[in-house]
């Protein structure tokens, strides 16, 4: 006994099969931001220099805006656990070792996000060739690891607070801010700490740092 398949039934089954496959393989659209600007606030909590290695602890605060997260209400709230916004994948690219021990995130009604992190890390230092007097320079280089979610990230160093470690044992500390002077595709921002013996005056060191920064930016 033979039976013929109903062409309409076969077409309907084929359509249902294709629709099922399409439903399983389709994914939600990925919304990619075309540009990101991250403002950075750095507080140096403590530091120790040994064998040309700077061991330091900093509070890193990053601020950026995501217009999709606007809301009405109080000015700022802790970021809800069920909200997973885009965040910059910032790394200290020249760190020999780094550890993040605490993170807290806040959301403002205008879509501004603020993330605070407590970081401990080690970076190599070298004798400064840009200064007239003997000094050690220790760069802390901030950049995005992959630019995940955006085409480009620009880091703007708004402030660096070094008052807590302004008195190293037998040394003086100053800093400079360098903004992407290497013109890399992933923008790089550098906090350059200068550590110098106490027989040089703090004002003299700051003047030298200013001159050295201008020289580096012109290269």
Q: How far apart are CA 215 and CA 219, in angstroms?
A: 7
Q: Which residue has the higher pLDDT, 202 or 96?
A: 96
The predicted structure's pLDDT at residue 136 = 85
User: Which run of H or E residues covers position 217?
Assistant: helix 202-217
Q: Which residue has the higher pLDDT, 190 or 109?
A: 109
120 with 173: CB under 8 angstroms?
no
What percentage of the chain exceeds 70 in pLDDT?
60
Q: How far apart are CA 37 and CA 200, in angstroms?
A: 38
The predicted structure's pLDDT at residue 74 = 80
Q: What does the pLDDT look like over 17-35, one tens digit per residue?
A: 343 334 443 444 344 454 4
Token digits of residue 30: 């990925």
Tell me what the pLDDT averaged over the chain comes to: 74
Q: What does the pLDDT look like over 112-142, one tens digit per residue?
A: 999 999 999 999 998 876 655 567 888 999 9
142 with 190: CB under 8 angstroms?
yes
The predicted structure's pLDDT at residue 158 = 82
CATH T-level assignment (fold) for domain 35-217 = Acetylcholine Binding Protein; Chain: A, (2.70.170)
Q: Which residue has the higher pLDDT, 36 or 111?
A: 111
The predicted structure's pLDDT at residue 21 = 35
Q: What does the pLDDT look like over 67-104, one tens digit per residue?
A: 888 988 888 999 988 888 888 889 999 999 999 999 99
Q: How far apart are CA 183 and CA 206, in angstroms?
A: 25
The predicted structure's pLDDT at residue 218 = 59
- In the numeric block, the tokens 């880091």 are attached to 155
Domain ranges of the chain: 35-217
User: Which run of H or E residues covers position 178?
Assistant: strand 172-179
């Amino acid at each position: 006994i033979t039976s013929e398949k109903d062409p309409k039934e076969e077409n309907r089954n084929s359509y249902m099969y294709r629709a099922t496959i399409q439903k399983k393989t389709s994914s939600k659209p990925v919304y990619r931001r075309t540009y990101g600007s991250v403002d950075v606030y750095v507080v140096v909590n403590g530091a120790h220099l040994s064998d040309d290695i700077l061991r330091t602890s900093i509070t890193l605060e990053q601020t950026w805006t995501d217009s999709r997260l606007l809301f009405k209400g109080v000015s700022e709230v802790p970021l809800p656990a069920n909200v997973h916004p885009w965040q910059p994948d910032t790394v200290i690219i020249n760190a020999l070792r780094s550890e993040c021990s605490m993170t807290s995130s806040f959301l403002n009604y205008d879509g501004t996000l603020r993330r605070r992190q407590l970081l401990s890390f080690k970076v190599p230092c070298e004798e400064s060739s840009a200064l007239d007097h003997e000094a050690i320079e220790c760069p802390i280089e901030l950049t995005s690891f992959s630019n995940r979610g955006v085409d480009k990230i620009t880091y703007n160093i708004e402030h660096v607070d070094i008052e807590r470690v302004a008195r190293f044992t037998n040394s003086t500390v100053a800093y400079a801010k360098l903004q992407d002077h290497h013109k890399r595709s992933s923008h790089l921002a550098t906090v350059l700490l200068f550590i110098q013996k106490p027989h040089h005056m703090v004002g003299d060191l700051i003047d030298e740092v200013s001159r050295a920064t201008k020289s580096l930016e012109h290269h």
